[in-house]
Structure 1
């Protein structure tokens, strides 16, 4: 059963819970498809027969993001680098020393601005809470940036999907469902492109650090 089929087969309330949980778990630092869940839920909300509310999809994602990041912050505050080491050992394909070092660099340079922008970048979404806690950023500032980023991210995706879905249903009728599936794929592709761009920055930063360490020897 595909993820779309799963969400179609459960009651709307359960859809919101699943989306909130996936976004929350991702925000703690575990690589699960939180953004995919948000996009999928938003796409399904454009189908009236499913009785899924786009607004509640966004609210569920927002709540999951704020709570998940706050849990990640708390764990990072208490366990610090040990948490990141454990996550890296558990998810070596997603969490590497170079990615952590680059994210640490961004926090050191931009502070809570990294929390806001990181909500839109998959890898930073996972690191934001734990790193903010590890680096002892003031929680009120972190919470404000976290909530603002989550609201723009969840609300922005839901609104765009709703607008496109409404237009598709009005003007294309039978083709609207196919168009929305295309929109889902485009959203995932954009996420991949942004992720690749982030990876190139990680590699460049790692190379720069390596060069600096070689010069200092």
Structure 2
């Protein structure tokens, strides 16, 4: 069976899609769980697939409506019947600020808080629970639950459904490219779910951390190393897991790439997809991001920050950051020389250079990943995820620009990203061996403007390297 047919066969059936929409709506509205689940992304994706299959819109909105009512209803019942136990159980026992935020919202808006809270992201999964704990009359809650769900369901379903109904007709994608686009979207959704849930679980306040810590303390061989690492604070479990997963994935992916003498079938599908969307505008944007991610671009981005670190005498940050960038550059040179994979297209300025792994991607991952880790350490715990999402938003176009300009295969980008994550993990593990002084105060607006000026000059005035 061709790959396109295989991917198309993986698309859920209409009945399963309706069940998925119901379950996503329920979980997204469920007490506390909704904080860890990217409900908007999941519902939009499911609704888009449903629109593509021409599933009746009334059934889809009905499934979302019922799921939303059930999620809020279960949350209300939990708070109403188990008021004391809820505050003593995970995760509220570890995050009392969540409950405080919901209580303040409830006190401010009263009965209307259930209706309004449905549409306010940070408090949406908390308000029904708080309403139950505050002993809101069940009849009042039911009416607020039903009326808010009646507005919420179409508001969340219609954009994705419209996208699914129109994208194939207006873009007129060939079947193979349609399957490639669907699989790429599915990969991004899965990564979003893993990131949203796993990022918190690997910290000291996450359940995964506590389970692993409890298990290791029972093993004599591992107890002493764990206690030694714990002496400086949290055991860097997130960095350890990142290293293990990234290194294993990089090894397996590299074996897959070198087992093929040419591009993977996935590479050809993605190349066709980017070729289909190619235009003067996309090429200009891609070429600009490609220049931002090359050697001169990285120097332009980091120079103001390096000068600030020098003037602030933060040699530890400068050495870790600089060492990571040098390490990933050397590993890229070695990887390209060992594997010798030809590029899809080799312009004059890349003559003699090979394709795997993507140096642009790995360097962007190291630069933005370490920046996100250092910034997150200075932020309150509940705001740290923003640093990582911003890093992802910057890294992704820098990596994809290599596909736009046609000098890399998609598998090169995957290998480069995994290599960058390995270097990030090793750097962070070394950094976290001892307590570090805060990076504050940091004149980040001035430094950001300086980086923007330098990178604009690099993109507009200097040729690619």
TM-score (norm 2): 0.33
Alignment correspondent of 2:239: none
Alpha-carbon distance change, 164 to 10 in structure 1, aligned in 2, over 3 angstroms: closer
The structure 2 residue matched to 1:45, chosen from 47, 50, 54, is 50
Q: Give CA deviations for 1:153-182 in whole Å, capped at 9, x if unaligned.
A: 221122222334444344322299659x5x
Contact kept, 8 Å, 2:45 with 2:160, in 1: the verdict is no
Contact 1:77-1:134 at 8 Å conserved across structures: yes
When residues 87 and 19 of structure 1 are mapped into structure 2, their CA distance, relative to the original with a 3 A threshold, is farther
Tell me whether 1:74 sits opposite 2:77 in the alignment. Answer: yes
CA distance in 1, matches of 2:163, 2:27: 28
Q: Aligned partners of 1:102 and 1:134: how far apart in 2?
A: 14
1:8 is displaced (CA, Å) by: 4.7
Cα distance change on mapping 1:30 and 1:89 into 2, 3 Å: closer
Deviation at 1:81, TM superposition (A): 4.0
Structure 2, gaps ≥5 residues long: 1-6, 197-381, 384-465
Contact 1:23 1:35 in 2 (8 A): no
Which residue of 1 is the match for residue 123 of structure 2? 124
Evaluate the alpha carbon distance shift between residue 89 and residue 106 of structure 1 in structure 2; reply closer, same or farther with a 3 A threshold.
closer
Q: Aligned residue for 2:31? A: 29
Quote how far apart the aligned CAs of 1:77 are.
0.8
Comparing 135-144 with 8-17, which one deviates more in the overlay?
A: 8-17
1:69 to 1:161, Cα distance in 2 relative to 1, 3 A: same
1:83 partnered with 2:86: yes
Cα offset, 1:73, TM superposition: 0.9
Partners of 2:88 and 2:40 in 1: how far apart?
A: 24
SS in 1 for 2:107: helix
| CA shift digits 1:122-142 (9 cap, x unpaired) | 442211221111111122222
CA distance in 2, matches of 1:89, 1:99: 7
Classify 1:24/1:157 alpha carbon distance in 2 versus 1 (closer, same or farther; 3 Å).
closer
In structure 2, the residue matched to 1:209 is: none
Residue of structure 1 in register with 2:19 after alignment: 17
Larger radius of gyration: 2
Q: For residue 113 of structure 1, what is the aligned residue in structure 2?
A: 112
Shift of 1:60: 1.3
Partner of 2:61: 58
SS of 1:156's equivalent?
helix
2:12 and 2:164 map into 1 onto residues whose CA distance is 21
Question: How many angstroms does 1:106 deviate by?
Answer: 0.7
Tell whether the 8 Å contact from 1:29 to 1:87 is kept in structure 2 after alignment.
no
Task: Report what 1:99 is aligned to.
Answer: 98
TM-score (norm 1): 0.66
Deviation at 1:88, TM superposition (A): 1.9
CA contact under 8 A between 2:21 and 2:47: conserved in structure 1? no
Q: Is the 8 A contact 1:27 1:68 kept in 2?
A: yes
Secondary structure in 1 matching 2:33:
coil
Inter-CA distance 57–72: structure 2 relative to 1 (3 Å threshold): same
C-alpha separation between the residues in 1 aligned to 2:90 and 2:18?
A: 27
Asked if 2 retains the 8 angstrom alpha-carbon contact of 1:27 and 1:128, the reply is no
Deviation at 1:89, TM superposition (A): 5.2
8 A Cα contact 2:77 2:129, kept in partner: yes
Moved more, 170-179 or 59-68: 170-179
SS at match of 1:174: coil
Structure 1 runs (4+) greater than 6 angstroms displaced:
none
| Segment of structure 1 superposing worse, 61-70 or 121-130 | 121-130
Contact 1:55/1:158 (CA < 8 Å) preserved in 2?
Answer: no
Q: Which has the higher contact order (CA 8 A, sep 6+)?
A: 1
- Aligned in 2, Cα 1:87/1:58: closer, same or farther, shift over 3 Å? farther
Count of matched residue pairs: 177
